[in-house]
Amino acid sequence: MEFLNKKIGKVLVIEKCGEKSTGKSRSLKIYKCQCDCGNETMLSREQLTRNETPSCKKCARKIRFIDLTNQKYGKLTVLNLHKSGDYIHTKWNCVCDCGNTKVVLTTQLRNGRISDCGCVYKNKDKTRIKLIGEVFGRLTVIKKSNEQSMWICKCDCGNEVTCRSTSLKHGLTKSCGCLKSEKMSGENSKFWKGGVNNINRLYRKRHNGVFQTWSLKIRKRDKICQKCNSNKKLNAHHIFNYDFYPEWGLDLNNGITLCETCHKGFHKLYGKKENNIKQLNEFLKT
C-alpha cells in the first residue's frame, strides 16, 4: 500500500524515510508525516494503518485527555482544570469534604494515591495526642517522641523511657524495666536460695583473700584430716554453716580440717545447710 501524499487521520504522509530494524526478524517502514497542528513526526506503517486517528505525540495526548470535572475521588470532588498540559501532568482544583481545597495531578486522583486534603492524617494525630497523661502500668505518657509512633514516658521509679504506642496499649510495656528486675530478684526469683548477706558475699570473692586466709590458718593448725588422719588435699570445713551463722564466719574455733574425700562425704550425708557441731561429732565417730 502506497501512503505518499495521502491524508490519514490528522497527518499527511510526505515521504518514505527507509526502514527501521526492530531487533527481530522483521523491520518497520518509516514515513515522514505532517500533522494538522503543524508538527512533523515519524510514523511507521503499522501506526498509520492500525491507529484510528494517526497524529503527532502532542495531539495524541490531547485526544486521550479525560475530563474529570465534578467527579469524586475519596473525599475530593474535582472543581475545574488548574493547569493544562499533557495528559499525564494535568492538574485539577479539588475541594475536600472538610471544605479545604487542593491541587492534584490526574494520575494521583485516578490511581487513588491522594483521596483527601490531608485532614485524615491530621485527625489521626489528634487522637494520638490523647495518649499524653494516660497511665500504663507504672508508666505515665509525657510527650510525643520525634520518632513515628513513639512516646516518652516517665516510670514511677523516676526513669524516662521511650515506648511504642502499640506496646503501651496492649500491655507489653508496663515499666522502664524495674518491674521485671523486681520479679527476677530476691524471693520473687526462681533462683532464690535464702539470700546472700555481706559476709557471704565477701567469702565468695575469692580474689580478696579473706576466705583463703581463714582456710590456711585452719589447715596449718590441724595439719591432718581430723577423721582419717590424711595429709593430702586438705579442706577447711565450717562447723556451723556460715550462710546461717555469718557472725562465726571468720572464727577459727568454727573451723576444722578435713581431707577432700571426707569433706565431700560430710556434705553428702548432712547437706550444706544448717550444719552444726552435733552433725560433725556424729560424722567423726562413724
For the cut 80, the answer to whether the pLDDT of residue 22 exceeds it is: no
For the cut 70, the answer to whether the pLDDT of residue 61 exceeds it is: no
Residues 161-186: pLDDT tens digits?
999 888 888 888 888 888 877 777 66
pLDDT at res. 95: 92
125 vs 55, residue with greater confidence: 55
pLDDT at res. 249: 73
Residues 100-137: pLDDT tens digits?
999 888 888 888 888 888 887 766 555 455 788 889 98
Is the CB of residue 139 less than 8 Å from the CB of residue 174? yes
The conformation of residue 127, written as its DSSP 8-state character, comes to H
40 vs 18, 30, 33, 62, 256, CA distance in Å?
Answer: 16, 13, 6, 16, 114
pLDDT at res. 154: 92
Rounded Cα distance between 33 and 172, Å, is 71
Question: pLDDT grade, residue 235 (50/70/90)?
Answer: confident
For the cut 70, the answer to whether the pLDDT of residue 204 exceeds it is: no
Is the CB of residue 235 less than 8 Å from the CB of residue 259? yes
Mean pLDDT, rounded, for 238-250: 76
pLDDT at res. 207: 44
Question: pLDDT grade, residue 87 (50/70/90)?
Answer: low
pLDDT at res. 150: 87
For the cut 50, the answer to whether the pLDDT of residue 206 exceeds it is: no
What percentage of residues in the chain have a pLDDT greater than 70?
A: 80
Mean pLDDT, rounded, for 264-275: 84
What are the b/e assignments for 93-125, b being 16+ CB within 10 Å? ebebeeeeeeebbbeebeeeebebbeeeeeeee
For the cut 90, the answer to whether the pLDDT of residue 153 exceeds it is: yes
> In whole numbers, what is the pLDDT of the chain averaged over residues?
79
Rounded Cα distance between 72 and 115, Å, is 9
Tell me, what amino acid is at 214? W
Mean pLDDT, rounded, for 25-53: 78
pLDDT at res. 195: 56
83 vs 56, 61, 70, 112, 164, CA distance in Å?
Answer: 22, 15, 16, 20, 43
Is the CB of residue 57 less than 8 Å from the CB of residue 41? yes
Mean pLDDT, rounded, for 227-245: 82
pLDDT at res. 123: 64
264 vs 169, 175, 279, CA distance in Å?
Answer: 55, 46, 14
Residue 267: Cβ-neighbour burial (10 angstroms; 0-12, 13-18, 19+) = middle
Residues 210-221: pLDDT tens digits?
778 888 888 888
Q: What's the pTM?
A: 0.32
